[in-house]
């Protein structure tokens, strides 16, 4: 169902765009310069998609558009007519989180949480890229690449390198991705020194 188109008398170069966001049809009247990111945040109250640089350099604004990950800050809303956009708010099915969301919580794949929606959208789209057999910078032989890839740790790290996490949760993000991608359920690598270790290390 289309929403009522808002009249914005102060808008410059008004454009109208209709698209599907999180399985809902949306019609927007926008300044022609509005990015998809600002359309989501400032016009639709979908603040889950984050503004980290507005230059396509940090990945915080990543959404899934027509099945592929897309930097919403580098996407003019005007070019999204008819597009199908999935944001972090649309990933959970009713109250059930997407497995990637659950894995990020379990493996503490974030700290401040600001890059997180972008990381998760990237990670979810990457699952599909691996299924499709897309190549990456560290792919050994791009002429010979099969579908249903099982990504190595190096591949995961490379393919998630477009999403900066300044808090430095990378190792936990990799673990979260592994759990969903390959059911590899290893936990972060912290431990406490044992009593024995403490005793034998004691200052003489």
Partner 1 sequence: MKTKNATGVGNAIDRVEGHLKVTGEATYASEFKVENKAYGQGINSTIAKGEIIGIDTSEAEKLKGVLKIITYKNAEKLKTFDKERPVLATDSIAPVLQSNKVHYYGEYVGFVVAETFEQAQYAASLVKLKYKEDATARFILGQNKDKAYNPSEESDHKRGNLKKGFSEADAIIEQTYNTPIEHQHPMELHATISSWNNGKVLVYASQQIVEDAVISISGTFQIPKKDVRVVAKYVGGGFGSKLNVERHLIMAVMASKMVGRPVQATVTRSQMFTNTGLRQSNIQVVKLGAKKTGELTGLLHETLAYTSTTQEFQEPCGSMSKMMYNVANAAVSERLVPLNLQQPFSMRAPGEATGSFALECAMDELAWKLKIDPVQFRIKNDTQEDLSQEKPFSSRLLVECLTIGADEFGWNKRQQKPRANKKGNWLIGYGVSAAARAAPFNETHAKVLLNLTNDTVTATLQMDATDIGTGSYTILAQTVSDCFNVPLEQVVVELGDSDFPITPGSGGSWGAASYCNGAKSACDNAIAGLKKNRNVPKDEDVSIAELLKMNQITSYESQSLAKPDSEFEKHSIFSFGANFTEVWVDKDTAMYKIKRMVNVGSAGKILNPKTAYGQVIGGLTMGAGMVIAEQTKVEPNFGNFITRSFADYHVPVNLDMANVDVIFLPEEDKIANQMGIKGIGELGITSVAASIANAIFNATGKRMRDLPITPEKLLMAEVEDGVTV
Q: 89, 147, 80, 148: which is closest to 120 by C-alpha?
A: 89
Which CB, 1 or 95, lies closer to partner 1? 95
Q: Shortest distance, CB of residue 47 to partner 1, whole angstroms?
A: 4
Strand 14-21 and strand 24-31: pairing? antiparallel
Residue with Cβ nearer partner 1 (108 or 134) = 108
Count of residues engaged in binding partner 1, rule: CB under 8 A: 77
Output 75-79 pairs: Cβ under 8 A, ≥24 positions apart: 75/35, 75/36, 75/37, 76/32, 76/33, 76/34, 76/35, 76/36, 77/15, 77/17, 77/28, 77/30, 77/34, 77/35, 77/36, 77/38, 77/39, 78/15, 78/17, 78/30, 78/32, 78/34
Of 15, 74, 89, 134, the one binding partner 1 (CB under 8 A) is: 89
Please identify, using beta-carbon distances, which residue of 1 and 109 lies nearer to partner 1. Answer: 109
Residues 63-82 that bind partner 1 (CB under 8 A): none
Binding mask 109-148 for partner 1 (x = CB under 8 A): -xxxxxxxx--x-----------------x----------
The whole-angstrom separation of Cα 151 and Cα 12 is: 47
In the complex, the smallest distance separating the C-beta of residue 3 from partner 1, rounded to whole angstroms, is 18
Q: Judged by CB under 8 A, which of 99, 134, 139, 170 binds partner 1?
A: 170
Choose the binding region for partner 1 from 105-113, 127-135, 140-148, 178-186 (rule: CB under 8 A): 105-113
Copy the structure tokens of residue 43: 């016009």
Residues of this chain, 147-166, that bind partner 1 according to CB under 8 A: 154, 156-158, 160-166
Our CB check for partner 1 shows the closer of 120 and 130 to be 120
Near partner 1 by CB under 8 A: residue from 17, 19, 26, 34 = 34
Residues 6 or more apart whose CB falls under 8 angstroms from that of 177 comprise: 100, 103, 123, 126, 156, 160
């Amino acid at each position: 169902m289309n929403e009522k188109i808002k009249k914005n008398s102060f808008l410059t170069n008004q454009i109208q765009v209709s698209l599907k966001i999180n399985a809902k049809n949306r019609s927007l009247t926008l300044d022609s310069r509005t990015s998809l990111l600002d359309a989501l945040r400032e016009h639709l109250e979908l603040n889950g998609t984050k503004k980290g640089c507005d230059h396509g350099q940090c990945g915080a604004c990543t959404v899934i558009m027509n099945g592929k990950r897309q930097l919403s800050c580098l996407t003019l809303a005007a070019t999204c007519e008819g597009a199908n956009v999935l944001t972090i708010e649309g990933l959970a099915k009713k109250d059930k989180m997407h497995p990637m969301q659950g894995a990020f919580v379990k493996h503490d794949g974030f700290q401040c949480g600001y890059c997180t929606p972008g990381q998760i959208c990237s990670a979810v789209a990457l699952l599909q890229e691996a299924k499709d057999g897309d190549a990456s910078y560290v792919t050994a032989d791009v002429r010979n690449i099969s579908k249903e890839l099982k990504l190595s740790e190096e591949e995961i790290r490379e393919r998630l390198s477009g999403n900066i996490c300044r808090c430095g949760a990378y190792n936990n993000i990799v673990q979260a991705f592994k759990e969903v991608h390959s059911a590899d359920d290893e936990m972060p690598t912290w431990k406490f020194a044992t009593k024995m270790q403490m005793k034998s290390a004691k200052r003489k």
